[in-house]
Structure 1
Amino acid sequence: MLSVQDLVKNFGGLRAIDHCTFDVQRGTITGLIGPNGAGKTTLFNIITGFISPDAGRVRFKGDDITNLPAHRIFDKKLCRTFQIPREHPSMTVIENLMLVASEQSGERIWNAWLRPGHVRRQEDETRKRAIEVLDFIELDHLRDEYAGKLSGGQKKLLELGRTLMAEPEMVLLDEPGAGVNRTLMKRLVGNIEYLCRERGIIFLLIEHDMDLVMRLCDPVIVMSEGRKLMQGTPDEVRSDKRVLDAYLGGQYAAAEG
């Protein structure tokens, strides 16, 4: 589904991505782990068109998307979330969702004058879909609340809801568990598992919560100093001495011993 091929990215004298290569298969929830500074978010920014690589290629569904602008990649149904949610705080929760829907005829001012009935029907359909998404992520009771007033965990759920409005085929999640309490985290994990299993959405997620990664993701990709250190099942990652020493700090060493 997604193929990262020999990517390189330098920032001045710092090599953030160093000949990184891996594939993400259909039907998977793939974890991407590594210490701070390993290049994980930079990699996401390259894949989704926010920055360009110095070398290498990115392919999505077989198409070369390297250097395409972010909105073109979004239109190809490859979407992402961010470490810090980027909601529109002065808009309501439901307005944040409705804004994402593509090809809205009301965005062209002449349609509002010449085809008001069509614009109204399309907006009604978009609102209906937004309500369905809000019901799925269990934020329907907050539909008319300003998004800026949501808790950190609720904003993470809203971010997921906004990607669903784009009807994605693949979603890149940047630390979905950061700042989220256990109750909301359980809901978010359940949503991800359901969307992968029932709707066929592929997920690639960055996460520092190793318990979450080991429970949710298979396979897991480990990055170090801008390159792939290894890729394997959660059990393989748990038992790899390089991973235990460098990233997990012996967290699973006792269990393995």
Structure 2
Amino acid sequence: MSREPLLRVEGLVKDFGGLRAVNGCTFAVAEGSITGLIGPNGAGKTTVFNLITGFLRPDAGRVLFQGEEITGLPPYRIFRKGLARTFQIPREHRLLTVLENLMLVPLGQLGEGFWNVWFRPQAVRAQEEAIRQRALEVLEFVELLHLKDEYAGNLSGGQRKLLELARVLMAEPRLVLLDEPGAGVNPTLMKKLAEKILELNRKGLTFLIIEHDMDLVMRLCDPIVVLSEGSVLKEGSPEAVRRDPKVLEAYLGGQYGAFEG
């Protein structure tokens, strides 16, 4: 018997004025998978991410995570349930250090309560030290430990993508949505980022990834969901997607070559 998918998207619709950006979008993400979400520019990929994570409310349809409906919940509640995301443009706190960026992530920190600082200082310090050690471990994993005291705003584009992944890992999620992790990243750092995604997946973390780099998608993702004009055009293995005439047609006009070779 197959298990319930970790994430299920059912019939999502989103209109912006007279434009239908997402049109009856339905797909599922199996636990333990690295699922790719691809499509031509304007296919609705990031809008789907925003609907899943609560940054937009759908006009129709629903989203289920771990069997529970989360449609329209605010982003912070969805985050607390174990579903985290990154963005096309990293949203780090530029004026804080790399280490401080990670230490801000865990929820429910005792030091955030005024009375705890006065009446439970030992507990506050102990928790802060535990969070600091966890942050250092995560930075070592993404190979940014040597930059722990650097201001986040001084990092390169690739380093900022690694920092964003590190911040997500501090939340210890069950599902991570990555929005174009390869955008603006040089080949060396992209290879490192791909290796980290694969390693985390082997440890049990599930991913849903939007990406335009087809080499990266074909290497990392199985299955792949193809969007076109806000609807699912094809869902299947990398090879099935690569050879589907409808997918090739959707990518005509600049991106067809991404599937060649």
Which bin holds the TM-score, normalised by the shorter protein? over 0.9
Structure 2 unaligned regions, length at least 5: 1-5
The answer (yes or no) to whether the contact 1:244–1:250 under 8 Å persists in 2 is: no
Pairwise CA distance, 1:251: 4.2
Could you say what secondary structure the match of 2:126 adopts? Answer: helix
Residue in 1 that maps onto 2:113: 108
- d(CA) in 2 for partners of 1:136 and 1:208? 25
C-alpha distance 19-141 of structure 1, shift in aligned 2 (>3 A)? same
Q: Which amino acid aligns with 2:170?
A: M
TM-score when normalising by structure 2? 0.95
C-alpha distance 201-10 of structure 1, shift in aligned 2 (>3 A)? same
Residue in 2 that maps onto 1:217: 221
- 1:37-72: CA deviation from partner (whole Å, max 9, x where unpaired): 111000000100111000000000000000111000
- d(CA) in 2 for partners of 1:252 and 1:40? 19
Q: 2:146 aligns with which of 128, 141, 149?
A: 141
Residue in 1 that maps onto 2:51: 46
The answer (yes or no) to whether the contact 1:244–1:251 under 8 Å persists in 2 is: no
Pairwise CA distance, 1:232: 0.6
C-alpha distance 17-252 of structure 1, shift in aligned 2 (>3 A)? closer
Q: 2:235 aligns with which of 231, 234, 254?
A: 231
- d(CA) in 1 for partners of 2:51 and 2:22? 10
- d(CA) in 1 for partners of 2:138 and 2:114? 28
CA-atom RMSD, angstroms? 0.9
Residue in 2 that maps onto 1:201: 205
Structure 1 unaligned regions, length at least 5: none
Could you say what secondary structure the match of 2:13 adopts? Answer: strand
Residue in 2 that maps onto 1:150: 155
C-alpha distance 251-168 of structure 1, shift in aligned 2 (>3 A)? closer
- 1:20-43: CA deviation from partner (whole Å, max 9, x where unpaired): 000000110000000111110000
TM-score when normalising by structure 1? 0.97
- d(CA) in 2 for partners of 1:63 and 1:37? 29
- d(CA) in 1 for partners of 2:66 and 2:259? 36
Give structure 1 regions of 4+ aligned residues with deviation exceeding 3 angstroms.
250-253
- d(CA) in 2 for partners of 1:250 and 1:187? 25
**Total equivalences in the alignment:** 253
Could you say what secondary structure the match of 2:92 adopts? Answer: coil
Aligned residues: percent identity?
65
1:13 aligns with 2:15: no
Pairwise CA distance, 1:246: 2.0
The answer (yes or no) to whether the contact 2:37–2:45 under 8 Å persists in 1 is: yes
Could you say what secondary structure the match of 1:20 adopts? Answer: strand
